[in-house]
Every structure is written in C-alpha cells, then in structure tokens.
A and B are shown apart, each in its own frame.
Chain A
Amino acid sequence: MGKYIAKRILWLIPIVLGVSFIIFSIMYLKPGNPAQLILGSEATQEAIDQLSEEMGLNEPFFVQYFNYMKGLIRGDLGSSYRNGNSVSAEIAARFPVTLRLAAFSILLVCIIGIPIGIISAIRQYSVIDMVSVVLALVLASMPSFWIGLMLMLLFSVQLQLLPPTGADSWINYILPCLTLAAVNLAVVTRMTRSTMLEVIRQDYVRTARAKGAGEGRVVMKHCLKNGMIPVLTIVAIQFSKLIGGAVLVESVFAMPGLGSLLVTAIRSSDTPLIMGSVIVLAIIFTVINLVIDLLYAVIDPRIRAQFAK
C-alpha cells in the first residue's frame, strides 16, 4: 500500500513536467515580444534588445524551458510582465477564493447528487426518478455561466436577496457555488443512478436479500460501496470541469480567484502569469485525482490486492 502511494506520488513528477512542457511550448508559440510588451510601444529597439537579452529571451527554447523549470522547483514562477509582482505571490493571494468555491461546490454536488441518484435508482420510474432524470438532462445542457447569470437575474436583480458580485463574505459564495454545482450535479446524479441500477441487479444483492436483509440494509451495506467507484471517478472528472467552470463563474460574479486572474493575464498577454496559473491549476487537479485513486483502494479490496503486488 505504502509502495503504491509512493509510486503514485512519483507519477506526479512526469505529469508536472509534461504539463509545464506543453504549456511552455504553447506560450512559446505566442507571437509578440514580451520585452516590447513590458516597455510599451514607445521603447527604442535598443532597449527592447537589451531587455530581451536580460530576460534570456534570445536563448534557445530548451534553455528557456530549463531555466523556467529551475524556478518552478524553487517555487519561483517568475514575475508578472504587467506589474513586476511575483507570480507565486499573486497566485497565493487568489488561490483561497478558488479553492473555497471548488470545494463547496463539489461538496454540494456530492451531498445532493449522490443521494438523489440513489433514490432514483431504488425507485426507478417513480416521480422523483422522472424529475431527476429530466432535470439532469436539462441542467447538463446549460452553460455554467448562463446558469450563473440566470441565478443572478433571479436572486440579485429580481428578488434582491443575494449580492451579485464580490467575495467578501460567505454570502457572496452562495450563487457561484450553486452555479458550479448545478452543472456538475446533473452528471453526478445520472452516473450515480445508472451505477446503482446496475449494482442492484447483481447476484450478490440477491444473495443479501436471500439472507433476509431489508431494503435499507441492502442499499447501504451491499450496493453503496460497490457503486461508489464509478461515482468517484465521475466526481474526479467533474472536478476538472469544475475548475474550468470556475474560470467562467468567477468572471460572471467578479470573484478575485485564480480563474479571473488567468483571464486578466490572458487579456494582457502576461505570459508568466498565464503559465503559472495554468500549471498550478493542473497540479491541483492531478493531486485531486491521486487522492481519488487512493480512495478506490480503500473501497475495493480487489484494487488493494493489485497494489500489494
């Protein structure tokens, strides 16, 4: 088990290397000279050349990548082209907002989506099931930012109950979290439902009934644990969508998180900031996936057995 965890953590290294390489390459292809960008349009060619030299922009691609990675290992992601601030510091300042947003949303998704999915499966073709199936289909078809706008329209503009923008208190988080949860809720509910439907039909569930187990016990003890692995997988996948969605939702509700930082960075062609935010987001996502992979082992003895080998 310990060996497996170590192996999985080591796998983080090629992922981070690969991700940073891809992002670095994409950014390298970006037209325009950063030195020009920093100095503004009135700078002389000499000044631009001098700054390019200082920044190492004339070095070959791999040398630049190597230098960047050296910084990354020390936690130094360079400094913003716009204001010269440390990228790491900027990200650290914005990170808590995104983390809160994502964590609350996924929590909301799990505590609402999974029970509804289970009830839908147990009471297949009941009213609850029908409603949840239709709702899931409709919600999954809506763009997250539009759901955000509609919630804003309803709760902030029409009812004037909740603030439309900002991140000053927990009240500001209600609408963004609901928005992010809504889209992902649909997928998790559907997945839970179909997984549970499959599990309920398994022979071992019939065996449990043959032992005299009641409906509640059959679901809680025999179905849940078996159904949780596919559900966890989908939650992990949804988390990636959630991080992507957070970028949009932060824009809608003007929340100062990593996503809006990234958007401003892109708008202002601030390459170090773009790269830093993307790499940090990718690392967060990878770590979450790692945690979920480890959870599989806790749930399923067969997976645990594979690790032991």
Chain B
Amino acid sequence: MKRDRQQGLKQGKFSAVWRRMKKNRTAMAGLVILIIIILMAIFADLIGDYNEVATKMDIANRLMAPMKKGLFGTDHYGRDVLARIAHGARVSLIIGFGAVLVSLVFGGAIGATAGFYGGRYDNIVMRCMDIIMAIPSTILALAVVAALGGGIFNLMIAIAVADIPNYARVVRSSVLTIRNADYIEAANAVGAGTAHVLARHIIPNVLGPIIVQCTLGIGSSILNAAGLSYIGLGVQAPRPEWGNMLSEAREFIQSAPHLIIIPGIFLALTVLALNLLGDGLRDALDPRLKD
C-alpha cells in the first residue's frame, strides 16, 4: 500500500508537469515540430530510398527548383532534396541525441560524484573541467575530430567531449543545492542511508534541470555537428547530412539558392523546436522560475 501511494505521488508530479506543459502553446508547438521531424527521420526510406533516391545521381535532372521535380527540387547531382533532408534528419537526430547521452553519462557521473563527495576530489575534478572549458567547445570538437577522423560516431564523441564539463557543472550544482537543503538534513537526521537519500531525494530533484539542459543540449549538438560537417570534417559525402548539404550547395548559391535555404530551415526548425520545448519544460518543472 505504501508503494501504491509513492507511485501515485510520482505520477502526480509527472502529470502536473504535463498539465502545465499543455497550457504552454509555444512549447507544444515545439513538441509537434519535433515529432514531425522525428517521424520524418524514422520513415526516411518511405519518403525516398537511401540508395535509390537519396544518394542516386541523376545528372539529367540536376539543380531543379522546388516543385519542378519533387517537393524540394534536386541538387547538383540530381538527387532528390526531400529524400536527402529526411535521411539527413536521421543523422542529425542520432548525433544530437547520442552526443547528449554520452556527455550526460560522463558529465553526470563526474558532476554527481564531485557534488556528493565534495572535498579534494571535487576540487581536482572541477579544476580539470575548468581547463577543458578554457578551450572553446567548437575548437575542442574540431581537435578531437582532427585526431579521430570524420564519421557519425566520431563526430558524436567529439561534440560530447566538449560538452562534458557543462553537464558536470549542472549536475554538480544541483546536487550541491539539494544536498545542503533542509529536507536532506531532515532525512539524514531520521537516519536515512546514503543510497536512500540519493534515490529518494537527490535524483528526483536533480532530474528537472538535467532534462532541460539535455533538451537544449540536443539542439546545440545538432548545430555543432552541422557546423563540423559544413567545413568538411564531420559526416562525409555521399551520406546526406544537413551541414554537408549546405557545404555542397555553397557553390550553387547563385543558380540554386533553394539548396541553401531548405536544409538551413530544417536545421533552424529542429533546433527551434528543441529550444521551445526546453524552455517550456523549464517553466513546467519549476513554475517559480517563469520570468
């Protein structure tokens, strides 16, 4: 029976957050856009087969304007832009989610232990994070890519490495604030063990800021990945990715501006959706913070 009640409480908190989210129109708009893009990525092969459409050259139909051939026209090799956008969504989302997952796991572990144990360990670890943060993140990612080479997985790692200190900091500071909060002292005072305090009090309370940071982090990871691909160090052609599509299109800025406009709009839309969702989540998780 006690378990039932706890379950109920948890559900209550989740549904309260969801209820507040539903009222936030911009956040819901972000969610809808994101779902559409995720669906597009999942069903990319239905929109246009990877081998048969997205990467198949058709020189006769090169640089076609939107609507003339396919919804978004064709690129300089006559490949269908819509199909490439859909397959690009797949790559961007995988890198975005993947990079955040990697940096969350490492950064979270570092930050949580630093915050929880404190002392000299905390000091040394956080100084190391400071040093990593002294390198502008794009530059660090560039250096890692330079060492590891391009490709989806390496790109993911490169972007994640540069982000680890951010997650470590967020997690550490939330652990610290909560660790020193009165209700933790109260829990300790009634004799709750470390594991119990961690599981029942710290983790549920740290979750909020982390979810927000992750949502916003996916967006910035996608932007970083696109940037690296744009300068030719990320996802390599012929695999379509929004960044490298823009890079290839640069030459044709005069003759086929749609090749620049369309991938950019999708990039911006995806990131905007994630930002709206992240902001909405922040407000929903902690209504006091709103403005």
- A positions within 8 Å CB-CB of B: 14-15, 18-19, 22-23, 26-27, 29-31, 124, 137-138, 140-146, 149-150, 152-153, 157, 194, 197, 240-241, 243-245, 247-248, 251-252, 262-263, 265-267, 269, 274, 278, 281-282, 285-286, 289
Contacts of B34 in A (CB 8 A): none
Contact indicator B271/A141 (Cβ below 8 Å)? yes
Contact indicator B142/A262 (Cβ below 8 Å)? yes
Known: A282-B135, A282-B139. A248 touches B227 (CB 8 A): yes
Of the listed stretches B63-71, B107-115, B143-151, name the one at the interface; the rest are far from the partner chain. B143-151
Min CB distance A301 to B, Å, is 25
List the A residue with the shortest CB-CB distance to B138: A244
Contact indicator B146/A266 (Cβ below 8 Å)? yes
Contacts of B264 in A (CB 8 A): 142-143, 146, 149-150
Give the residue of B149, B272, B291 whose beta carbon is less than 8 angstroms from that of A141.
B272
List the A residue with the shortest CB-CB distance to B264: A146
CB-contacts of B125-159 with A (<8 A): 127-128, 130-132, 134-140, 142-149
CB-defined A-B contacts under 8 Å, sample of 18: A18-B134, A22-B131, A141-B269, A142-B271, A143-B230, A145-B226, A146-B260, A146-B268, A152-B253, A153-B260, A157-B254, A157-B257, A241-B138, A243-B138, A248-B227, A269-B146, A274-B146, A282-B135
Q: Report Cα–Cα, A244/B143, bound state, in Å.
A: 12
Contacts of B145 in A (CB 8 A): 266
Q: Report Cα–Cα, A191/B283, bound state, in Å.
A: 16
Contacts of A29 in B (CB 8 A): 147-148
Known: A150-B260, A251-B230. A18 touches B131 (CB 8 A): yes
Q: Report Cα–Cα, A26/B157, bound state, in Å.
A: 13
Contact indicator A141/B227 (Cβ below 8 Å)? no
Contact indicator B139/A247 (Cβ below 8 Å)? yes
Main secondary structure of the interface of A (DSSP, over half): helix
Contacts of A243 in B (CB 8 A): 136, 138-139
Convert B147-174 into 0s and 1s, putting 1 for each residue whose CB lies closer than 8 angstroms to a CB of A.
1110000000000000000000000000
Contacts of B230 in A (CB 8 A): 143, 145, 248, 251
Contacts of A143 in B (CB 8 A): 223, 226-227, 230, 243, 264, 267-268, 271
List the A residue with the shortest CB-CB distance to B225: A143
A to B contact number (C-beta, < 8 Å): 142
Contact indicator B231/A263 (Cβ below 8 Å)? yes
Min CB distance B284 to A, Å, is 17
Min CB distance A72 to B, Å, is 15
Q: Report Cα–Cα, A201/B145, bound state, in Å.
A: 47
Contact indicator B232/A267 (Cβ below 8 Å)? yes
**Interface presence of B74 (CB below 8 A):** no
Q: Report Cα–Cα, A142/B145, bound state, in Å.
A: 23
Residue with the highest number of chain B CB atoms closer than 10 Å, among A19, A141, A240, A286:
A141
Contact indicator A137/B137 (Cβ below 8 Å)? no
Q: Report Cα–Cα, A286/B219, bound state, in Å.
A: 26
Q: Report Cα–Cα, A240/B134, bound state, in Å.
A: 8
List the B residue with the shortest CB-CB distance to A144: B227
Give the residue of B142, B257, B291 whose beta carbon is less than 8 angstroms from that of A247.
B142
Min CB distance A100 to B, Å, is 18
Contacts of B146 in A (CB 8 A): 26-27, 30, 265-266, 269, 274
Known: A26-B143, A27-B143, A157-B253. A145 touches B246 (CB 8 A): yes
Convert B210-245 into 0s and 1s, putting 1 for each residue whose CB lies closer than 8 angstroms to a CB of A.
000000000100010011001111000000000100
